[in-house]
């Protein structure tokens, strides 16, 4: 789960990480009032769950309250990477001397948190990693020991020479690492971490992603979920207990089991196709899950063919087939659908599918090739 920048800054501030003052506005009038209260130049920042807001025109400098009102009027309602801006953060415009980057993610290879710092902040860290990886310093932390003060200082020295700023940055890194654990974060990031004219080091931006599986023990953060800012298909899938991630391809995939879903997507790419999504209906035999899955996939205008790959164990192939037939009756899909069923009640499932004359495949390879071929004909 992602939280907005203003929400992440609230959490940072409660942990003692310095952030610039600001408030969120949903109207231009609110933005005017907040800027007038700050009584200094402000930044008006779109609050959407995507990167590249600045490049898209969603982050603007306002000299005064009236300029903030005009900019908020422009930004609220703007489309940024498919998401509509419904609120903006109005925050003081700091006088910046330098920009750095600090982030923490979980490294799946070492199974440890990795802290990354770079003096090349303020731009996409992915771009820095791709073009100048030597500018990123990493520290893999043993979770049994935790981050030690000298390690935080060593990282801070990679960013600053001034000892006062090193101390401030080390303190921020220690607190950020504490929040990473406390919030069950999958990612926590400050970009940029800036120095100001008076020598202060502050978090000018804040990013915090929470592990969905841990939300049950993060009730305060769970209430911050903004459904308006999320992909509607992903919201619908979550409500139906489906695991769904939207991708950019044109082969819609409906699969049971996360491992089989990953293997299916790998094979789609191996044979030259591009998966449009990851969708796992899980291990149950509820036909309604298949109906909902079909509805979600068919709502994606990029989908040119659907591949249904079921390996029946606990999941019964006849229940899946019943769900497919029901979905065809309800939605009358115009894109081709290829089904591969194998396992529990396989013959019964194929008999049910025969009633609507769906193309079936004996093997996964055959199903993938057929789906890619049919997608090319649409």
Please provide the DSSP assignment of 159-202 as one string: T-SSHHHHHHHHHHHHHHHHHHHHTTEEEEEEEEEEEETTS-EE
Q: Which of 94, 99, 151, 189 is catalytic?
A: 189
- For 293, the enclosing helix (H) or strand (E) is helix 287-298
Active site residue 189: yes
CA distance linking residue 190 with residue 172, whole number of Å: 10
Active-site residue among 6, 94, 101, 160? 101
Rounded Cα distance, 349 and 341, in Å: 7
Q: What does the DSSP assignment read for 209-273?
A: EE-GGGGGG-HHHHTT--GGGS-HHHHHHHHTT-EEEE-SSSEEEEESSHHHHHHHHHHHHHTT-
Q: What is the distance between the alpha carbons of residues 213 and 203, in angstroms, rounded to a whole number? A: 27
CA distance 222 to 218: 6
Q: Give me the active site residues, please.
A: 101, 189
């Amino acid at each position: 789960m992602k939280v907005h920048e203003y929400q992440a800054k609230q959490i940072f501030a409660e942990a003692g990480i310095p952030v610039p003052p600001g408030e969120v506005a949903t109207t231009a009038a609110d933005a005017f009032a907040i800027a007038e209260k700050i009584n200094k130049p402000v930044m008006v920042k779109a609050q959407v769950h995507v990167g590249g807001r600045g490049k898209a025109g969603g982050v603007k400098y306002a000299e005064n309250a009236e300029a903030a009102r005009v900019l908020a009027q422009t930004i609220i309602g703007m489309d940024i990477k498919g998401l509509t801006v419904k609120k903006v953060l109005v925050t003081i415009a700091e006088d910046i001397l330098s920009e750095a980057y600090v982030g923490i993610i979980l490294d799946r290879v070492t199974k440890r948190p990795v802290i990354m710092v770079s003096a090349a902040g303020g731009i996409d860290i992915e771009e820095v990693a791709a073009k100048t990886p030597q500018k990123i310093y990493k520290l893999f932390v043993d979770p049994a020991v935790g981050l030690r003060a000298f390690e935080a200082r060593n990282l801070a020295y990679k960013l600053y020479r001034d000892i006062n700023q090193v101390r401030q940055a080390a303190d921020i890194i220690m607190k950020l690492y504490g929040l990473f654990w406390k919030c069950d974060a999958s990612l926590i990031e400050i970009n940029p971490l800036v120095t100001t004219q008076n020598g202060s080091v502050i978090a000018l931006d804040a990013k915090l992603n929470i592990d969905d599986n841990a939300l049950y023990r993060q009730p305060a953060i769970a209430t911050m979920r903004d459904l308006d800012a999320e992909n509607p298909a992903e919201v619908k899938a979550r409500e139906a207990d489906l695991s769904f991630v939207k991708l950019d391809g044109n082969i819609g995939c409906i699969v049971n089991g996360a491992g089989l879903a990953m293997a299916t997507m790998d094979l789609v790419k191996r044979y030259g196709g591009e998966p449009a999504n990851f969708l796992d209906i899980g291990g149950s035999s509820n036909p309604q899950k298949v109906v909902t899955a079909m509805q979600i996939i068919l709502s994606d205008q990029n989908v040119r063919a659907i591949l249904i790959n079921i390996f029946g164990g606990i999941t019964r192939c006849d229940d899946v087939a019943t769900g497919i037939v029901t979905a065809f009756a309800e939605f009358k899909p115009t894109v081709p659908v290829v089904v591969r069923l194998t396992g529990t009640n396989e013959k019964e499932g194929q008999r049910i599918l025969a009633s609507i004359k769906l193309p079936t495949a004996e093997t996964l390879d055959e199903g993938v090739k057929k789906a890619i071929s049919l997608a090319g004909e649409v």
